[in-house]
Amino acid sequence: MKFHQLPLLKTIQLNSENWLSSPGVIGTIVLIFIIIFLGVFIFLKRLNRYVDFLEKNTTDLTEEEFQRRLINLEEEDVDNILELRQQGFKTNVKPSNIAETSSKYIGIYVLLLFVFIISCKGENSKSHLHSNHSSRGWSYTGETAPKFWAQLVEDSDCGEKHQSPINIISKNAKKQTISKFKKYYSASTILTKVIYNGHSIEFDFKQGDSIVVGETNTFHLSQIHFHEPAEHKINGIIFPIEIHLVHKNKNNNYAVMSIFGMEGDESQLFEFLESFLPLKSGDSKSINTSVDLASIFPEDESYFIYKGSLTTPPCTEEVQWIVFTEPIILSLNEVKVLKENMPLNNFREEQPINGRVIYFFEDK
């Protein structure tokens, strides 16, 4: 076996379901503030009027004269004035004090209302930003880069313990004398279409070619896509490109064969595949023609095999990975064409192994 040296918050976040993000709720709360404000204002104004009445009508008046002056007032006002008089407000509280208190309360309520509205707008702004952040989906850069996938993508495995890709250290792999999988590829695989999904170029295939992992677990080839540079490493080495042949079984479980590519001679297979490019993001092109995928595999089919995950969201685990050690050769121009038709650096960072066992089978 040869290895080629190459120069090369979980935090709680506001979201659109936060109660403060509803304009109807905010409007209701503001209305309640206004009602309370008006209630306090009216109360203080009436209190001011009562105290003023007491101030003007208690000096040098007999009880009979005081009662006579109450006759023209509303019954509710009379009751309130008499209660205030009984409690001594006529001597302890002056109209000027009431006016001052009234102004103070009004000022406090206006300030509270202003702070509340500003805070609601701030929370709405955060919520809106978070909503936009989520709606953009995931990517390989900025706020939607791989390190944020676990928080960004709901119900995903991106933050779990058995993720891919990994750095495979050959000396730590357990050698196997019997291959753990068999490959059944024909010379006329039906290529149905090519898609640029915004993350990679993907070639889709009609069910036919397959691999068998273990005794009876059959996975059929579904699609092929690419990462530049490679996602997996072998002994820390990063190859210029990694090709993923994605297979699914009847239970929708995955098995992925990984093949590295390095620059050298021209590949007829890649010249054929790239003849259907370029594509704009989100575009697809129907092909429906047969292709021989034999040349996509290296001559030396030694491989590592381990359990990991998809390297893109939702990062589903329990994926059977088969990583070939020997790279295939592509021309510099072929690598360039792929790179120009995909996002720059569409790779996920190395993930911890976390005690997983990696097996190695040498093709003799």
Q: Catalytic amino acids?
A: 199
Per the document, the length of the chain is: 364
Q: Which two tokens stand for residue 268?
A: 């007829």
Cα separation, 289 vs 189, whole angstroms: 8
Neighbours of 231 (CB within 10 A): 22
Cα separation, 324 vs 183, whole angstroms: 13
CB of 6 closer than 8 Å to CB of 238? yes
> Residue 359 is inside which H or E element, if any?
strand 359-361
Residue found under tokens 């006002």 = 77
Question: Which letter, b or e, does each residue of 24-63 get, where b requires 16 or more Cβ atoms within 10 Å of its Cβ?
Answer: eebeebeeebeeebeeeeeebeebbebbebbbebeeeeee
DSSP designation for 172: G
Helix (H, G, I), strand (E, B) or coil at 2: coil
Cα separation, 219 vs 234, whole angstroms: 25
